[in-house]
Chains A and B, each alone.
Chain A
Amino acid sequence: MATSALAGHGHPPTTTGLDHRKVAIWAFIGSECMLFTSLISTYLVYKGRSVNGPFPHEVCNPPQCATQLKPILNIPVTSVSTFVLLMSSLAMVLALAAVENKDKPGWAGTGRWGRALASSKLWLLMTAILGSTFLGFQAFEFTSFVHEGLTIRQNLFGSSFFTLTGFHGAHVTVGVLWLLTLLAIDVRRGLGPKDALLVDISALYWHFVDVVWIAIFTLVYLIR
């Protein structure tokens, strides 16, 4: 299948035959890969080199800590938030499918479930809610860490951990705002197949935020 751009099909002719906006978002995602890998590398390089507790996976005993401190990472809570973010990616692809197929009545089937599946508003809202839930889990985690004595200035683990997960949380926040903007447009005038690229670009960003968390969850939370 030829992939050359067709005038009048969503974007003006380009030298690559591809929409510049989509090329731009992939280039941006490529650069973001390097940003997050540098942050993850920093975390891994400093791993196990904190002089003072609390520590991520180990108990901190006196005299390293004034009192005995248990391992600070809460795996059950983070596992749930990871699942929430994975499900938000599913909701995002369904939002994109709903927008792309809006001019095909019945594409998702008939009945209540079919109508729900075809509702871009529902899936955009669902994605934003799941993203916000993830942020809520992160706020809970950060707050509990600070209460347990881990701040960004406490030790090397705290500095690298809060920087890495804080940057990721900031990206999720931007993603949620982006999704809410799309939802507002959808409510106001409706999103259709001609707007599919707008949703596709936001979906790429959202899934990228998800894959970054997949790496963080394993490298930071699970590997001791």
Chain B
Amino acid sequence: MDRWWSDGSETGSRLWQGIVAIAATGCLLGLAQNALVRHGDPKSGLAWRYTPPKLDSLDDVVAARSDAQPGGSTPLPPDMNDPLQIGGSATSGVPDIPDVGRPIQIQISKVKAFFDAKAATIVDAREPAEYAEGHIPGAINMPYDQVVTDPERLEEFDPQGKPIIVYCGGGTCELSMSLGFSLVNAGKKKVLVYMGGWPEWSTSGFAVAKGATPEGA
């Protein structure tokens, strides 16, 4: 004990004791803290089981808002069978997008409506090579990994007040989901994620563009 602060001489079982004690204390404190937080307010803290993030669909968001404010700004859809009319304005066929501070999931029919009306900025979150092979005409290529290394790209991106539709290669589409959250965090409004993505769009017979530019080569 030549120095008051340190006893770094532990070896063998005493060393293991220390390692186990530190790990166990940490784990117990963490579990206890989370349990306490959840005991106080079940909505805060973390759930014991992890569930991957899921986006609300536009229909759910619109429905939740019209429930919350009956007779409010969002009229009930006149025809539930026509997705374009849900929460939509009669004139353009393009739905109004509420600003909810998180990305919203959107289906292909509404993507097409926005596309036809040129009422949204479409963003392709895939790699440039995939983008060049084919993309939705007018879509801007913004690969998610480039955004991670160069956040300036988000700052420079100006959707000009239009809703932003992000898509990628379909499936669970982590790229567009992550990019959607990054866009919201960067202060962008009305961020929509088109989960069907390129596989669905390209097999639906809608217009496509090839090449490295938005309108295609």
On whether the two chains bind one another, the answer is no
Binding site for A on B (CB under 8 A): none
